[in-house]
Amino acid sequence: MASNTNGGRTALITGGAGFIGSHLAESLLDKGYRVTIIDNLSTGRIENIAHLTENPSFHFAVDDITSDVVMDRLVSECDVIFHMAAAVGVQLIVNDPVHVIETNVLGTHAVLKAANRYRKKVLIASTSEIYGKSENVPFGEDDDRLLGPTTKARWSYSTSKAVDEFLGLAYHQQLGLPIVIFRLFNTVGPRQTGQYGMVVPRFAQQAIDGDPITVYGDGKQTRCFCDVRDTVRAIVALSESQDAIGRVFNIGSTEEISITDLAKLVLRQAGRSTDMTKESIRFVPYELAYGSDFEDMRRRVPDTSRIQGALGWQPEFTLETTIGNVIASLRQRHAVASG
């Protein structure tokens, strides 16, 4: 039941039928917001928000954020914008860099133009990809960035999101628009799809199906995974903080795990053997998965001291709990689908 603590404020979520956007919509509705989402369903899914459609405080527009007429109306009617729409995922970045660049840069520009017209606060979702292949771990928000050459499509996503950040901060600094930017580090949870290279849902699906888990590279690369519930809690808190305006924040767990150890954890949570035989874990060179010019980062760890200092935020859910929820959600979906 909604708490109605926000006086009927209206939130607009771009990309609201996506993995994180749908969880954000749930959270805001629970806090008493009216929520409108816009999604062209290129990567978002109706199933993610189907359970919200009966709520009279929830509205859904199937359209593109570059539609000036639609965005003008939706922005004029909202109090705050959560700009989550983006082209994401390693597979998509490698296969369709034109779509990635155009979606991210032109989409963000369209959102900011409409927001500026009506002077609405915007929270822009960015990414840990911003830091590129820097080895200055943990990554602080004001650290230098290190990217590969423009001849490698791998770096187009990082660059497109950097342009989003520059544009958002320019609207704030030059035009006084209230902007908050948050960089997400490997958010995971139910409803996330492995279709575009996201590692946890892909591992979980393989574990459930009884297939060997496919690890790209040597598996020694490390990442930090944050439960979507923790991520959403941070995003909502940033939206309600006046002190966050004009600033950039990392959101993520600081608990590192190698991809091989992640595969073992997923196998264990799924009740499978964690031995290192080819029946359990299969290693595939990057060049076979993504092409010969693919580059990856060995470590990606956020410094979260800024958001902890500003909001007192830190993750509450363990990775074991999160993966257990992902596996349970996939199994439940399979059970429903099979009747």
Q: What digits encode the pLDDT tens for the residues 161-195?
A: 999 999 999 999 999 999 999 999 999 999 998 77
Active site amino acids? 157
Lowest-pLDDT choice from 109-113, 190-194, 208-212, 322-326: 190-194
pLDDT tens digits, 106-158: 999 999 999 999 999 999 999 999 999 999 999 999 999 999 999 888 888 89
Is the Cβ–Cβ distance between 84 and 18 less than 8 Å? yes
Widest CA span in the chain: 59
Strands (DSSP E) found in 26-92: 34-39, 58-62, 80-83
Task: Output 16 or 298, whichever has higher pLDDT.
Answer: 16
Q: Which residues contact 288 (CB under 8 A, 6 or more apart)?
A: none
Rounded to whole angstroms, the Cα distance separating 124 from 42 reads: 19
How do the domains of the chain map onto residue ranges?
10-185+227-252+301-316
CATH superfamily of 10-185+227-252+301-316: NAD(P)-binding Rossmann-like Domain (3.40.50.720)
Instruction: Report the chain's mean pLDDT, rounded to a whole number.
Output: 91
Rounded to whole angstroms, the Cα distance separating 303 from 274 reads: 31
pLDDT score of 133: 92
Is the Cβ–Cβ distance between 84 and 111 less than 8 Å? no
Mapped onto helix, strand or coil, the DSSP state of residue 21 is helix
For residue 184, count CB atoms less than 10 angstroms from its CB and return exposed for 0-12, middle for 13-18, buried for 19 or more. buried
pLDDT score of 249: 98
